[in-house]
Amino acid sequence: MSSAIQVLNEAAIERYSRQLLLRELGEAGQLQLTQAQVAVVGCGGLGVPAALYLGAAGVGRLTLIDPDRVALDNLNRQVAYRTDEVGLAKAKVLTQRILELNPTVEVSARQESLDSQSMRDLLSRADVVLECSDDPVTKFLVNDFCVGEGIGLVVGGAVGLVGQVVTIPRGAACYRCLFVAPPASPGQTCREAGVLGPLVGMIGSLQALEAIKLISGIGRETGGRLLDFDAVTARWREVRFPLDPTCSAHQEGLGRQRP
């Protein structure tokens, strides 16, 4: 994290006053947010609420990564975009929405796909990465990179009426420890199975919350658990899982993590 900002000015104190009142956060935690860099992979149903809440909370630098453009069938759930913005680049429109909300943060729009070639350029400077795409292969690529580089990661997913979040602090059990590898045959996406807008809003907001906790140190260690939400019953289920010593992501990352 950058150490350039050491004291909050009067405008920042007023803007973040409700957060500063929190004993668990306070000025020290707010300064950590202000100095942090977060990358958001995917500016769709999960990435929109996640990025908006991170920008509003005062995360100093955000990188938004998505190659797609706004489509009419996005608008039931991707609530940062307007009907007259159909056809525009999602990353650029979402950048504008965040800056309208909080012009004190830095936001970089990267209208490109994330792959093994672009990963280091797009993610290496982040303190935390939010994986908000709907592609299982991308989730594993991002997981392996973040584990190897010692970058905190929050993975989200939602389809139909079910959503999931996995938070991966540095050195903790990871997405590959839990699922091992992408499925041999891709499961249904939102395009095939559908999804409700409020569900992705909940999951994306939880991803933002988990990122803020990783940056500021709020709460207990959140690694090694999957949070699964059933929208029909409105119930959460917690699944605990251990770090797998044979996990390839951890094996490849040995000796390469950040100090």
Q: How confident is the model at residue 185 (pLDDT cuts 50, 70, 90)?
A: low
Instruction: Give 49-63 pLDDT, tens digit per residue.
Output: 999 999 999 999 999
Instruction: Give 207-246 pLDDT, tens digit per residue.
Output: 999 999 999 999 766 788 999 999 999 999 999 999 999 9
Has 190 been annotated as catalytic? yes
- Superfamily of chain region 10-253: NAD(P)-binding Rossmann-like Domain (3.40.50.720)
Q: Kindly tell me if the per-residue pLDDT of 9 is higher than 60.
A: yes
**Nearest by Cα to 54 from 228, 214, 191:** 214
Q: What is the pLDDT of residue 86?
A: 98
CB of 213 closer than 8 Å to CB of 158? no
**Which distant-in-sequence residues (6+ apart) come within 8 Å of 189 by Cβ?**
134, 159
Rounded mean pLDDT of 130-157? 96
Catalytic residue, from 132, 146, 177, 190: name it: 190
The string of DSSP letters for the chain reads ------S--HHHHHHTHHHHT-TTTHHHHHHHHHH-EEEEE--STTHHHHHHHHHHHT-SEEEEE---B--GGGTTT-TT--GGGTTSBHHHHHHHHHHHH-TTSEEEEE-S---TTTHHHHHTT-SEEEE--S-HHHHHHHHHHHHHHT-EEEEEEEEBTEEEEEEE-TTS--HHHHH-S--SS----HHHH-B-HHHHHHHHHHHHHHHHHHHHT-SS---SEEEEEETTTTEEEEEE----TT-HHHHHHTTTS--
Q: What is the pLDDT of residue 116?
A: 87
Q: What is the pLDDT of residue 87?
A: 98
Q: How confident is the model at residue 3 (pLDDT cuts 50, 70, 90)?
A: very low
Query: What CA–CA distance (Å, rounded) separates 92 from 43?
Result: 10
Q: What is the pTM of this model?
A: 0.93
Dig out the tokens for 177 from the structure.
Answer: 């420890």
Q: How confident is the model at residue 190 (pLDDT cuts 50, 70, 90)?
A: confident
Q: Whole-angstrom distance between the N-terminal and C-terminal Cα of the chain?
A: 13
Q: How many CB atoms lie within 10 A of CB 111?
A: 15
